[in-house]
Amino acid sequence: MYGGTRLFTYIPGIQRPQRDGSAMGQRDIVGFPNGSMLLRRAQPTDSGTYQVAVTINSEWTMKAKTEVQVAEKNKELPSTHLPTNAGILAATIIGSLAAGALLISCIAYLLVTRNWKGQSHRYRVPRRPSPVSSHCLLKP
């Protein structure tokens, strides 16, 4: 039965929610003081619209509802990507790392060679004066 109506009552003093007045012993359902409910090991028959009404006093009741769909265990959900095995995953990771290392190496090489070429134009090495020959010296 999908989308059936079930009435659960939870009173904070009672540990387990009740269904139509009887305790839900066969199911693993836990109620919390804030009005939320935890349904463990949900089954396709639990699919449907869940509504909650919290009565604060006779004049104030808060209500909310949500749609829950529980898929069957053996039912395949649509996949957005192709399945990969460990070998393909490892090759993809190693290939990406190698490509990244190559790119970083190329950038570093270009920066180093560019700076090396740039320095040769910016800074001129002072010329050494030519050695003075002995015949140019004046004697007093």
Give 91-131 pLDDT, tens digit per residue.
888 888 888 888 898 888 888 887 766 555 555 666 666 55
* 13 plus 64 within the same structural domain: yes
Quote the Cα angle for 26-27-31, to 5°: 125
Asked whether residue 114 is domain-assigned, the answer is yes
Q: Domain of 53? A: 8-68
pTM for the model: 0.36
Q: What are the two backbone dihedrals, phi and then psi, of residue 100, each rounded to the nearest 5 degrees?
A: -65, -40
Q: Mapping DSSP to helix (H, G, I), strand (E, B) and coil, where does residue 97 land?
A: helix
Give the model's pLDDT for residue 128: 64
Domain total in the chain: 2
* 93 plus 60 within the same structural domain: no
Of the pLDDT bands very low, low, confident and very high (cuts 50, 70, 90), residue 22 is very low
